[in-house]
Amino acid sequence: MSNTVEQDSGKSGEALLFRRRKELLDKYLSLIPSRRRNLFAPTTFTAERFGIPQRTLQGWIEAGVVLALRFGRNYKVYVPSVEEYLRGRSRSER
């Protein structure tokens, strides 16, 4: 029984992840280029902006705690998701 629940939750988790990525891509494509550059930035720029190592940011992306779109080998990070994640971390550390 528990295997079925785990499998079902895995499938729904994959569907949710797919839906989030599709929504993020739709948002990206709906923006004018100047706004797109402000909201979706390369990992190097984003890491530098927030003063964190680029590899840490990539780990957050891979863990799904920060949203990003992958274009070939590169990510465009959804900057508001980094801000939200860092705010949540600072609140939990208090």
Give, in order, the Cα–Cα distances in Å from 89 to each of 47, 65, 67, 94.
16, 11, 16, 9
Cβ neighbours of residue 50 under 8 Å, at least 6 residues apart?
Answer: 57, 82, 86
Q: Which range of residues forms the domain containing residue 64?
A: 2-92
For position 7, what pLDDT does the model report? 40
DSSP tag of 40: E
Per-residue pLDDT of the chain (94 residues; tens, 9 = 90+): 333 333 444 556 677 777 888 999 999 999 999 999 999 999 999 999 999 999 999 999 999 999 999 999 999 999 999 999 999 887 776 5
pLDDT the model gives residue 12: 67
Which CATH number characterizes residue 77's domain? 1.10.1660
- The number of folded domains in the chain is 1
pTM assigned to the model:
0.79
